[in-house]
Amino acid sequence: MSDVGDDCLEQREMSDVGEDHLEQKEMSDVGDDCQEQREMSDMGEDRLEQKEMSDVGDDCLEQREMSDMGEDRLEQREMSDLGDDQSVQMSATRSPTRPWLVESFMGRGVLGVRVDKEELRRKIQIPDYIRKAFSEAVRSKYIGGDFDFCVEEVVDPPDSPIVVFVNSKSGGRQGAALKGWLQNFVGEEQVFDISLINPLDFVRYGLASLEHLAWTGDYCAKQIRNKLRIMVAGGDGTVGWVLGCLGELYEYDRMPVPPIGIIPLGTGNDLSRSFGWGGSFPFVWRSAVKRSITKAITGGICLLDSWRVMVTIKSQETVLLPHSLKRINEHTFRYAKEGFDGSFPKDVSCFGGVFYNYFSIGMDAQVAYGFHHLRDEKPFLAQGPIANKLIYSGYSCTQGWFFTPCLSDPGLRGLKNIVRLYIKKTDSLEWQQVRFPSSVRAIIALNLHNYGSGRQPWGHLKPEYMEKKGFVESDSADGLLEIFGLKEGWHASFVMSELISAKHIAQATSVRLEIKPGDCKGAFMQMDGEPWKHPIDDEHSTFVDIKRVPNQSIMINGE
């Protein structure tokens, strides 16, 4: 019995020991759990802290991205609003086969890689002291003054310095908005409003100040002068104005002449189209302008012919001529010695100017003249491209291009009755008279491919046709003008719709028009979209001479 009792006691002790071990194990497990919980808690705090730090980093990154992308998001909202407000439609100023919205986006390079704004600014921004120097020179019209713009250390020149000319009155409110954006982006001193600053003043004083600094040993100024490129934001008239001013550099052998890129702000924008800069100012314009500037600093160089026009006017006549025509004291008119039928008056004034796209005489100029006068007198009628097109079409009818019989008014007769056309060809120094059909109501001498907001009236000619006519492939730098005719309004409409080509007359290195005296009191002419009514002498012939300017303009290829 005693042994049995001892066994029972031992079992109870072992049971107690087991319970103690179990309790210790449980306590150990609890401790482990607590330790694990503490470790997990610490890890959680670490992870939370890391997450918070990550969030802070993300916030900073997001702020930077928002700063860079704010303009893009604004444009996206503009695109969204535009999509809600308007459906894709045909533009009055573009090819009828391309929707205007597609051209606004794709034609200006809106779809493409994103441009780093700060990197672009670094490449084009001119050092502050130089910007202030040439800006002050333009303002004061004085070169080499002590402007108190000192630099304490050597400054590296920018990779691709650019100066921008903006016509703030072009494109409605877009011109002013673009001017403000550019001034904020690159600096006020590098952006000139041509409604306030004459580009010729920049050529004579701004560029001269760079040349003066370079002459004094400023390496940075020398490099900027040699690398400088110019962007022009405006229509064809604005671009032509700047090109004409830069032409003065050739006269005084101030090389190099800066090449020009274009931001189209006008209506036709044929110069812009011809060199790959697009035919319209895009709706999503901020990023597109950055891409245009990028193309301006990387694009290749193209050449452009320019043509000098000289016209005669009887000295007693008073006529309102376009601003592009200026009185010239010396001329080379010697018609009496060259066998021309018309007599040349002794008392005559001569005016000259330069065009880059086209010169025309006849009904197209008459319609343009009427339209411009109405727009000047009643600007509220011309509020957009559709209204302009309707008014233009109305003038085409009322001026007799469509419905008025040609014989009812001497001024509406075919040009053959009052105009003789003479040309010089590439292989000849002699004038040759060229006859054209009596149905031709307008004669256009075209330098570019594009005319009338992107139309190509000369067309793409087949090789066998060119060989038959003695023509060559047209180019804006080949030293040739393409001369073609437009007949009645229906013919002109089909030509402008690109359903048919215009009446091909000739290709020439020089052109001379002799307008015979008679009962026609005036001939309508236009040059790069500037029309005027030219008085016709009732006793002597009136002459128009067109010859190529020796030096070609330099353009940047925007394609």
Q: What is the pLDDT of residue 345?
A: 64
Is the same domain home to 492 and 395? yes
Is the same domain home to 349 and 398? yes
Q: How far apart are CA 323 and CA 364, in angstroms?
A: 20
Is the same domain home to 34 and 136? no
DSSP-derived letter for residue 482 is: E
Model confidence band, residue 411 (pLDDT cutoffs 50, 70, 90): very low
Q: What is the pLDDT of residue 319?
A: 75
Q: What is the pLDDT of residue 317?
A: 67
Q: Is residue 95 part of a domain?
A: no
Of 277, 299, 321, which residue sits at a domain end? 299
* End-to-end Cα distance, the chain: 115
Is the same domain home to 194 and 328? no
Residue 445 has phi, psi (to 5 degrees) of: -105, 110
The predicted-structure confidence for 491-515, as pLDDT tens digits, reads as follows 888 888 888 889 999 999 999 999 9
What's this model's pTM, rounded to 2 decimal places? Answer: 0.75
Is the same domain home to 529 and 438? yes
Is the same domain home to 279 and 313? no
Q: Give the highest mean pLDDT range of 407-421, 486-500, 532-546.
A: 532-546
Is the same domain home to 234 and 111? yes
Task: With a cut of 80, say whether residue 99 has pLDDT above it.
Answer: no
If you average pLDDT over residues 462-479, what whole number do you get? 93
Is the same domain home to 53 and 69? yes
What percent of the residues of the chain are helix, what percent strand, and what percent coil, each to the nearest 5?
45, 20, 35
Closest CA to 475 of 434, 500, 447, 514: 447
Which region among 114-118, 254-258, 343-347, 399-403 has the lowest average model confidence (pLDDT)? 399-403
**Structural domain span for residue 506:** 307-550
Q: What is the pLDDT of residue 556?
A: 97
Of 299, 320, 350, which residue sits at a domain end? 299
Q: Is residue 90 part of a domain?
A: no
Q: What is the pLDDT of residue 175?
A: 87
Q: What is the pLDDT of residue 300?
A: 95
Q: Is residue 558 part of a domain?
A: no
If you average pLDDT over residues 524-531, what whole number do you get? 89
Q: What is the pLDDT of residue 325?
A: 87
Task: With a cut of 80, say whether residue 13 has pLDDT above it.
Answer: no
If you average pLDDT over residues 210-235, what whole number do you get? 95
Is the same domain home to 404 and 494? yes
Is the same domain home to 57 and 192? no
Q: Is residue 91 part of a domain?
A: no
Q: How far apart are CA 358 and CA 526, in angstroms?
A: 8
Q: Is residue 442 part of a domain?
A: yes
DSSP letters along 250-303, please? HHTT-PPPPPEEEEE-SSS-HHHHHTTS-SS--SSHHHHHHHHHHHHHH--EEE
171: left (phi over 0), alpha (psi -120 to 50) or beta: left
Which region among 191-205, 312-326, 532-546 has the lowest average model confidence (pLDDT)? 312-326
Task: With a cut of 50, say whether residue 309 has pLDDT above it.
Answer: yes
Q: What is the pLDDT of residue 303?
A: 97
Task: With a cut of 90, say whether residue 519 has pLDDT above it.
Answer: no
For residue 230, the cross-strand partners are: 163, 260
Residue 14 has phi, psi (to 5 degrees) of: -65, -40
Which region among 73-82, 412-421, 422-431 has the lowest average model confidence (pLDDT)? 73-82
DSSP-derived letter for residue 90 is: B
Q: What is the pLDDT of residue 377?
A: 66
For residue 405, give the CATH number of its domain.
2.60.200
Which region among 234-243, 260-269, 313-322, 533-542 has the lowest average model confidence (pLDDT)? 313-322
Q: Is residue 247 part of a domain?
A: yes
Q: What is the pLDDT of residue 489?
A: 76
Task: With a cut of 50, say whether residue 44 has pLDDT above it.
Answer: no
Task: With a cut of 70, say whether residue 347 has pLDDT above it.
Answer: yes
Q: What is the pLDDT of residue 150?
A: 53
Task: With a cut of 90, say whether residue 245 has pLDDT above it.
Answer: yes
The predicted-structure confidence for 166-216, as pLDDT tens digits, reads as follows 998 877 678 899 999 999 999 999 999 998 999 999 999 999 999 999 999
How many domains does the chain contain in total? 3
Q: Is residue 93 part of a domain?
A: no
Q: Which residues contact 161 (CB under 8 A, 6 or more apart)?
A: 124, 125, 126, 224, 227, 228, 229
Q: Is residue 92 part of a domain?
A: no
Is the same domain home to 114 and 231? yes
Considering the chain, what is the average pLDDT of its residues?
A: 77
Of 234, 264, 299, which residue sits at a domain end? 299
Is the same domain home to 407 and 536? yes
Closest CA to 399 of 544, 528, 538, 533: 533
Task: With a cut of 80, say whether residue 110 has pLDDT above it.
Answer: no
Q: What is the pLDDT of residue 393?
A: 55
**Helix, strand, or coil (residue 312):** strand
Percent of the chain with pLDDT strictly greater than 70:
66
118 or 15, which is more confident? 118
Model confidence band, residue 22 (pLDDT cutoffs 50, 70, 90): very low
Q: What is the pLDDT of residue 555?
A: 97
